[in-house]
Amino acid sequence: MELLIDGKRISQEIKDELRERMAELKAQGAERCLAVIQVGNDPASSVYVRNKKKACEYVGVDSLSYELPAETAEEELLALIRELNGRPDVNGILVQLPLPRHINEERVLLAIAPEKDVDGFHPVNVGNLSIGRPGYVSCTPAGVIQLLKRSGIEIEGKECVVLGRSNIVGKPMAMLLLRENGTVTICHSRTQNLKEITRRADILVAAVGKPKFVDGDFIKDGAVVIDVGIHRNAEGKLCGDVDFASVAPKAYAVTPVPGGVGPMTIAMLMANCVNGIEE
C-alpha cells in the first residue's frame, strides 16, 4: 500500500475551511442553524447527536436540540418538524435515526422540507442527485468523494464498483461516482460472481455491512479501497467491511477504520449546513 487515506486529517481540513467560511458569513450578518431531533435515548444515537452538536460549535453553526421521550407520538414529531420547516432562522433539520418502532421513518423523512434536509434523504434531494440538479447529498457518500479528491485520486474514466445498494450509502455513492464520470457497477446480495466484478475495480467502495467481508482476494493489484463499514467486535474494537491486513499489501490506497470514512460524515453534514444548496 502506498497511501493510507487519512479521514481524520481530511475531515479536520474541511471543518477548518467551513469555520473560516462561517466567520465570513457572520461578518456579513448571516447565520446558520441546525435543528437536531432525537427520539428516545439509544446510546449510539446519543453519541452521534453529541458529536454533531460539537461539530456545529466548532464550525460556528448554531444548533437547536430536541430530545424527545421514546414514547413520543408520530404526530407530535411531525408537528415539530412542520414548526421547524416554517422557522426562517432554521436552515437544517436532522432527525437522528433509527426512530422507535411505532414511528414511520418514511413519513418523518418526507415531512422535512427538502430545502432543509441536510441529511439528503428526502426523495426530492435523492431525485435531484439522479437527474443532475443541485440538492443536498447524503453525507457519507459525499464524504467518500472528498476523501478521493483530496487524496489526488482521479475518478473520471475509472472502473468504480460499489458493494451495497442501500438508500443512504450504496445508491447515492454510485450516483456521485457517476457524476464524477466514473464507470460504475453496483453489487448486492444477489450479484453473481462477485469477486470477478470487484477485481475489475480501480476504485472499490465497500458498504456491505459485514465485518471484514472484503479480503485481498476481492481486489486487483493497485486498487483504491474505501471502507464505509463500521462494526464493533466483542472487545469493543472497531473494524470495517474490509479486512485491512489482507487488502493493504495489494492495494494502492485504503481507508482505515477507525479514522477513514467515519469522520467524514459529520464534516459533510457541516458542509451542507454552511453552504446550503449550491446552484
State the catalytic residue, choosing from 117, 119, 227, 243: 119
Q: How far apart are CA 265 and CA 277, in angstroms?
A: 17
State the catalytic residue, choosing from 52, 158, 212, 250: 52
Q: Is 239 in the site for ligand NAP (CB under 6 A)?
A: no
Identify whether 96 is a catalytic site residue: yes
**Residue 165's Cα: distance from chain center in Å?**
14
- Alpha-carbon torsion, ordered 216, 221, 226, 227, to 10 deg: 10
Contact with ligand NAP (CB under 6 A): which of 261, 268, 271, 274? 261
Q: Is 258 in the site for ligand NAP (CB under 6 A)?
A: no
Q: How many CB atoms are closer than 10 A to CB 42?
A: 17
Q: Is 265 in the site for ligand NAP (CB under 6 A)?
A: yes
What is the residue whose three cell numbers read 415531512? 111
Reference 261, options 91, 144, 113; nearest CA is 144
Minimum CB separation from ligand NAP for residue 88, in Å? 30
Residue 84 or 226: the one with the smaller Cβ distance to ligand NAP is: 226
Q: Which distant-in-sequence residues (6+ apart) come within 8 Å of 9 by Cβ? A: none
Residues 150-209 that bind ligand NAP (CB under 6 A): 163-166, 168-170, 187-191, 194, 207-209
Q: Which distant-in-sequence residues (6+ apart) come within 8 Å of 149 by Cβ? A: 155
Residues 84-143 that bind ligand NAP (CB under 6 A): 140
Minimum CB separation from ligand NAP for residue 52, in Å? 12
Q: Is 262 in the site for ligand NAP (CB under 6 A)?
A: yes
Minimum CB separation from ligand NAP for residue 124, in Å? 21
Residue 81 or 194: the one with the smaller Cβ distance to ligand NAP is: 194
Contact with ligand NAP (CB under 6 A): which of 1, 3, 64, 230? 230
Q: Where are the beta strands (DSSP E) in 14-124?
A: 33-39, 62-68, 92-95
What is the residue whose three cell numbers read 432562522? 89
Minimum CB separation from ligand NAP for residue 61, in Å? 19
Q: Is 229 in the site for ligand NAP (CB under 6 A)?
A: yes
Minimum CB separation from ligand NAP for residue 190, in Å? 6
State the catalytic residue, choosing from 15, 96, 158, 250: 96
Closest residue to ligand NAP in the complex (CB): 166
Q: How far apart are CA 146 and CA 226, in angstroms?
A: 12
Q: Which stretch binds ligand NAP (CB under 6 A): 15-23, 46-54, 62-70, 223-231?
A: 223-231
Q: Which residues of 153-171 are buried (b: 16+ CB within 10 A; e: fewer)?
A: bebeebbbbbbbbbebbbb
Give the Å distances, CA to CA, from 117 to 9, 58, 86, 186: 27, 21, 13, 26
Give the Å distances, CA to CA, from 263 to 100, 218, 243: 26, 25, 19
Q: How many residues in the shown chain lie near ligand NAP by CB under 6 A?
A: 26
Residues identified as active-site:
52, 96, 119
Q: Which residues of the chain form contacts with ligand NAP (CB under 6 A)? A: 140, 163-166, 168-170, 187-191, 194, 207-210, 228-231, 241, 261-262, 265
